[in-house]
Chain A
Amino acid sequence: MIATGQTLKAVEEVKGRSLWVDARRRLLKNRAAVASIVILALVALLAVLAPLLSSYAYDDVNYDIISCAPNWWPAEAACRAPGHIFGTDAVGRDLFVRVLFGARVSLAVGLVATLVSLLIGVLYGAVAGYIGGRTDALMMRIVDILYSLPFIFFVIILMVMFDRNFILLFVAIGAVEWLTMARIVRGQTLSLKQKEFIEAARAGGVSPLGIITRHVIPNVVGPVMVYVTLTVPGVILTESFLSFLGLGIQEPLTSWGVLISDGADQMETAPWMLLFPALFMAVTLFCFNYVGDGLRDALDPKDR
């Protein structure tokens, strides 16, 4: 049966493996996840190399070709702009290069803010849940207080205090997103703490920090991954919302959120202005979801 095959294999592979090595191997076996990683890498590469890929700058205004369709656009269009493969926007800027510059902002905000929230949230939640008692109560009340601050009010105060700044966007979004993460992880940790294998680790002399990093965090990965895949799109949308209010990215810089909201206004006359940024964003978000699913499965040895 399967068991004998595995025994043979195990005898050959005598070198010890860890969860992370196994997880990488399992992740690489998941085709959807690997394809998604490749696409995400491609999008990121395009974003980084954006200035080299186009002869237009992202803020080159050309009033002769306002809202023009690309040459290959199959449908009727008021005007065509040869050389602009995604067409042009309402002030005649090249849409292709703008979508790529938008990718820079959106990906950076999405990834950095999520990573920050992941780091703070997981550590904070795991520590609060594992220590428990008064420490836990105090730490979670702090979270409750931060939760109750109105988000927009908070952003406006930040903007007023430190002037408008790209970094502030990360700070503002990260400061809000980690709260939910901390709550999720704390809840999971509380139930994990009752498990016998945690007690076994304590009996084995493992320090509290060792238990949190070696036993608690790997075991909360499932729900955390699901939440992360929801957070990245959420953050990208939050950024576009802030930009829409004039609190985020400012012209001539742009992001996918801004491009989509601009494109949505002209959907009937110039559909390409909505189509391309939306396509990029949709593909990216899909990929994030597949990678998240893949990671969750890869980190669960029962799925081997």
Chain B
Amino acid sequence: MSALLEITNLNVHFALADGDVHAVKDASLSIQESECLGVVGESGSGKSQLFLAAFGLLAANGHATGSVKYRGEEILGAPPRRLNALRGGAVTMIFQDPLTSLTPHMKIGAQITEALMLHRKISRAEALTRAREMLDYVRIPESARRLRQYPHELSGGMRQRVMIAMATITGPDLIIADEPTTALDVTVQAQILEILRALKTDKKTAIAMVSHDMGVIAGLADRVQVMRHGEIVESGSADEIFYAPRHAYTRMLLDSIPKADEMPSPVTAIGAPLLTVDDLKVTFPVKDKGLFGKTRLLRAVDGISFILHQGETLGVVGESGCGKSTLARAVLQLLPKSGGRVVWLGRDLDAQTQSDIRKLREDFQIVFQDPLASLDPRMPVGVSIAEPLKALEPHLSRETVRDRVRAIMSRVGLEPGWINRYPHELSGGQNQRVGLARAMIVGPKMLVCDEAVSALDVSIQAQIVELIRDLQAETGLALIFISHDLSVVRRLSHRVMVLYLGRVVELAPSAALYSAPRHPYTRALLSAVLTPDPRAERLRKRELLTGDLPSPLDPRAQLTFLKSKLGLKSRPDGPEYRPKLEQVAPDHFVAEHD
């Protein structure tokens, strides 16, 4: 049987101002009918360029050589007419960001039918019917209404489903999915992967799954290719790659994935509570459309309380929109809060003036998610690192500042000679070390890591987590570690707090939360975590949540897991009932649920 797609010795070069970049080196691969091939690699490994090149979608400065055969027909360098007939018809693509790959001014119905009407000569009405069926297939509720909506009216997960519907409607033989779930929340990711798996089994569609995430590949791929620096370093069946990796790089990738048995660094000494957060609330006014639109309150953080001790790590998990970043910013006094108290070492931060709070910043620092965006592009990194020190201890001499910058740089694993480098000259991991150095230079007592490792490749992620853990062991730092990734949180945290729409649904010691989760939302989150274990992934039954996260503007959203109390109000005109936290074991709190 001849392969569906056969790529042999494909080379991709990019002509850049600084010279030639060899992005893909002699890559060969083949995909059989109704087979799923996983292509894994870290950022810059050339895994996306490989497929873009194969279907003539390279940027203008790119150049591809080699051979790409689709059902035996050479398509590399084929005329655009032929490629256009192929793309969107027999071969379709799904990209990472579902918002940028949908045209903002076209309604969903028009976008889905566009490709269908180009490739199959059918009437508009017929195409719309097919589109509706397709939306039902990818489990979009109220499909008829969705066809008349614009992309921005849908959530991220819904948009990615629309992309899948678009990619499937022409009945392709091959779908190229380039990081299709990377921008999505874990529970939504699990739903999307279910749909792709169904496509493979029901429709016998071949899938090329490009991802940096070994977990995503594990559950879906029959065969796997590992790419690094443009080269395919290892290929084999999924079982071979995951259970008996031969190449050192593959082993390294698998090793960097957090393991279940890893334990956080021991609490050095639980002293007095450092930080007490009591019933913290942050609301944002949201104005409805129109001149006389009503202003409603979006409760981003809706009554969160916790205590953080010295040397302790509190993990905060939740999906996008659950208020975890808002919580961090409100605690750090970067956002005004609308209710509740934040007490730092016995001092109520409300009672402090702005300039007092600025002085207190020496005690609490933050590391941000995007390492590049959080550094001023026009400042050498040395100046960025020195900035908090200069602002908070202006009496220090130039020499002292310089020495401390060097000391902290070598501590976080940066060459002290790099002080004059600009952020764009460093890699993501190095920039995150700069961010960490900037936070640690003033010797804080508490560090907030807001998705600090989420934007990094897995191997770098592991290094940064290790570094944070070392710094904590050395200085007795308290950590608030915010992430959507439950396995990273588990690695570091003594206690974990699960947020859902601005409220705590479960707060428990790490071991208890991961081994015996009580709340259905926590269970769903945990069940959505992917493991790099193909056999387990194939067998696993998931507790999937259906649909998307409800809007935080909807007052009933809080009661998603407490349907029995729906419509119940404390007073007739009072606010909607909110689930209460109940203690189920020492230190283990769970929100009421059905």
Chain A interface residues toward B at CB < 8 A = 2, 6-7, 10-11, 13-14, 16-19, 22, 195-197, 199-207, 210, 214-215, 218-219, 299-302, 304
- Interface contact B418-A205, CB-CB below 8 Å: no
- Interface contact B334-A203, CB-CB below 8 Å: yes
Smallest CB–CB gap between B412 and chain A, Å? 16
- Interface contact B377-A10, CB-CB below 8 Å: no
Residues 358-387 of chain B: 1 if any A CB is under 8 Å from the residue's CB, otherwise 0? 110110011011100111111110110001
- Interface contact A197-B387, CB-CB below 8 Å: no
Residues 394-405 of chain B: 1 if any A CB is under 8 Å from the residue's CB, otherwise 0? 000000001000
Complex Cα–Cα for A218 and B366 (A) = 24
- Interface contact B417-A203, CB-CB below 8 Å: no
A-facing residues in B395-426 (Cβ within 8 Å)? 402, 415-422, 424-425
Q: Which residues of B have CB within 8 Å of A195?
A: 373
Q: Which residues of B have CB within 8 Å of A197?
A: 373-377
Q: If A203-B334, A206-B391 touch, does A302 touch B377 (CB 8 Å cutoff)?
A: yes
Q: Which residues of B have CB within 8 Å of A10?
A: 415, 417-421
Interface status of B435 (Cβ within 8 A of chain A): yes
- Interface contact B391-A18, CB-CB below 8 Å: no
Q: From B416, which residue of chain A is reached at the shortest CB distance?
A: A14
Q: Which of B359, B376, B419 contacts A219 (CB 8 A)?
A: B376
Smallest CB–CB gap between B453 and chain A, Å? 15
- Interface contact B377-A204, CB-CB below 8 Å: no
Q: From A203, which residue of chain B is reached at the shortest CB distance?
A: B366
Q: Which residues of A have CB within 8 Å of B442?
A: 204-205
- Interface contact A16-B361, CB-CB below 8 Å: no
Q: From B435, which residue of chain A is reached at the shortest CB distance?
A: A200
User: 10 closest pairs, A vs B, by CB?
Assistant: A204-B388, A205-B361, A196-B374, A10-B417, A301-B422, A11-B417, A196-B373, A205-B391, A206-B391, A205-B392
Smallest CB–CB gap between A135 and chain B, Å? 15
Q: From B420, which residue of chain A is reached at the shortest CB distance?
A: A17
Q: Mind listing 7 A-B residue pairs with CB under 8 Å?
A: A196-B374, A197-B374, A199-B334, A199-B374, A200-B368, A200-B438, A203-B366
Complex Cα–Cα for A2 and B377 (A) = 20
Q: Which residues of A have CB within 8 Å of B373?
A: 195-197
- Interface contact B358-A201, CB-CB below 8 Å: no
- Interface contact B368-A196, CB-CB below 8 Å: yes
Q: Which of B332, B359, B376 contacts A203 (CB 8 A)?
A: B332
Q: If A301-B422, A302-B424 touch, does A207 touch B358 (CB 8 Å cutoff)?
A: yes
Complex Cα–Cα for A107 and B203 (A) = 75
Smallest CB–CB gap between A212 and chain B, Å? 13
- Interface contact B424-A204, CB-CB below 8 Å: no
Smallest CB–CB gap between A213 and chain B, Å? 12
Q: Which residues of B have CB within 8 Å of A301?
A: 377-378, 380, 422, 424
Select the residue from B366, B378, B388 with max chain A CB neighbours within 10 A.
B378
Smallest CB–CB gap between B344 and chain A, Å? 14
- Interface contact B415-A19, CB-CB below 8 Å: no
Q: Which residues of A have CB within 8 Å of B420?
A: 10, 13, 16-17, 22
Complex Cα–Cα for A205 and B405 (A) = 17
Q: Which residues of A have CB within 8 Å of B262?
A: none
- Interface contact B361-A17, CB-CB below 8 Å: no
Interface status of B18 (Cβ within 8 A of chain A): yes
Q: Which of A6, A19, A201, A214 contacts B380 (CB 8 A)?
A: A19
Complex Cα–Cα for A15 and B73 (A) = 60
- Interface contact B378-A218, CB-CB below 8 Å: yes
Smallest CB–CB gap between A158 and chain B, Å? 39
Complex Cα–Cα for A206 and B389 (A) = 9
Complex Cα–Cα for A4 and B379 (A) = 22
Q: Which residues of B have CB within 8 Å of A204?
A: 361, 365, 387-388, 391-392, 438, 442
Complex Cα–Cα for A14 and B417 (A) = 6
Smallest CB–CB gap between A117 and chain B, Å? 23
- Interface contact B378-A19, CB-CB below 8 Å: yes
Q: Which residues of A have CB within 8 Å of B402?
A: 16
Interface bin, chain B = 35 or more
Q: From A215, which residue of chain B is reached at the shortest CB distance?
A: B376
Complex Cα–Cα for A10 and B381 (A) = 13
Smallest CB–CB gap between A157 and chain B, Å? 38
Complex Cα–Cα for A200 and B359 (A) = 15
Smallest CB–CB gap between A184 and chain B, Å? 18
Q: Which residues of A have CB within 8 Å of B375?
A: 197, 200
Complex Cα–Cα for A71 and B555 (A) = 90
Q: Which residues of A have CB within 8 Å of B359?
A: 205
Q: Which residues of A have CB within 8 Å of B391?
A: 204-207, 210
- Interface contact B415-A7, CB-CB below 8 Å: yes
Smallest CB–CB gap between B458 and chain A, Å? 23
Q: Which of A7, A202, A205, A302 contacts B422 (CB 8 A)?
A: A302
Q: Which residues of B have CB within 8 Å of A300?
A: 378
Complex Cα–Cα for A18 and B374 (A) = 18
Complex Cα–Cα for A204 and B439 (A) = 7
Complex Cα–Cα for A218 and B384 (A) = 14
Question: Apart from A6-B421, A204-B442, what are 7 other A-B pairs with CB-CB below 8 Å?
Answer: A22-B380, A200-B366, A203-B361, A203-B365, A204-B361, A218-B379, A302-B377
Smallest CB–CB gap between B515 and chain A, Å? 35
Complex Cα–Cα for A301 and B368 (A) = 22
Q: Which residues of B have CB within 8 Å of A205?
A: 358-359, 361-362, 388, 391-392, 442
- Interface contact B378-A299, CB-CB below 8 Å: yes
Q: Which of A11, A203, A210, A219 contacts B378 (CB 8 A)?
A: A219
A-facing residues in B299-335 (Cβ within 8 Å)? 329, 332, 334
Complex Cα–Cα for A215 and B419 (A) = 18
Q: Which residues of A have CB within 8 Å of B392?
A: 204-205
Q: Which residues of B have CB within 8 Å of A14?
A: 416-417, 419
Complex Cα–Cα for A18 and B377 (A) = 12
Smallest CB–CB gap between B368 and chain A, Å? 5
Q: Which residues of A have CB within 8 Å of B424?
A: 301-302
Q: Which residues of A have CB within 8 Å of B422?
A: 301-302, 304
A-facing residues in B424-451 (Cβ within 8 Å)? 424-425, 435, 438, 442
Q: Which residues of A have CB within 8 Å of B334?
A: 199, 202-203
Q: From A3, which residue of chain B is reached at the shortest CB distance?
A: B425
- Interface contact A6-B362, CB-CB below 8 Å: no
- Interface contact B387-A16, CB-CB below 8 Å: no
Q: From B375, which residue of chain A is reached at the shortest CB distance?
A: A197
Q: Which of A2, A16, A202, A207 contacts B383 (CB 8 A)?
A: A16
Select the residue from B358, B370, B402 with max chain A CB neighbours within 10 A.
B358
Complex Cα–Cα for A238 and B18 (A) = 43
Complex Cα–Cα for A31 and B365 (A) = 44
Complex Cα–Cα for A13 and B366 (A) = 30
Q: Which residues of A have CB within 8 Å of B18?
A: 2
Q: Which residues of A have CB within 8 Å of B435?
A: 200
Q: Which residues of A have CB within 8 Å of B358?
A: 205, 207
Q: Which residues of B have CB within 8 Å of A6?
A: 421, 425
Q: From B424, which residue of chain A is reached at the shortest CB distance?
A: A302
Q: If A196-B370, A203-B334 touch, does A17 touch B365 (CB 8 Å cutoff)?
A: no
Complex Cα–Cα for A46 and B391 (A) = 47
Q: From B426, which residue of chain A is reached at the shortest CB distance?
A: A3
Select the residue from A6, A204, A218 with max chain B CB neighbours within 10 A.
A204
Q: Which residues of A have CB within 8 Å of B377?
A: 197, 219, 301-302
Complex Cα–Cα for A201 and B391 (A) = 9
Complex Cα–Cα for A22 and B380 (A) = 10
Smallest CB–CB gap between A218 and chain B, Å? 5
Select the residue from B329, B383, B420, B435 with max chain A CB neighbours within 10 A.
B420
Smallest CB–CB gap between B572 and chain A, Å? 37
Q: Which residues of B have CB within 8 Å of A17?
A: 380, 420
Complex Cα–Cα for A215 and B438 (A) = 16
Q: Which residues of B have CB within 8 Å of A203?
A: 332, 334, 361, 365-366, 388
Complex Cα–Cα for A119 and B533 (A) = 62
Complex Cα–Cα for A210 and B355 (A) = 13
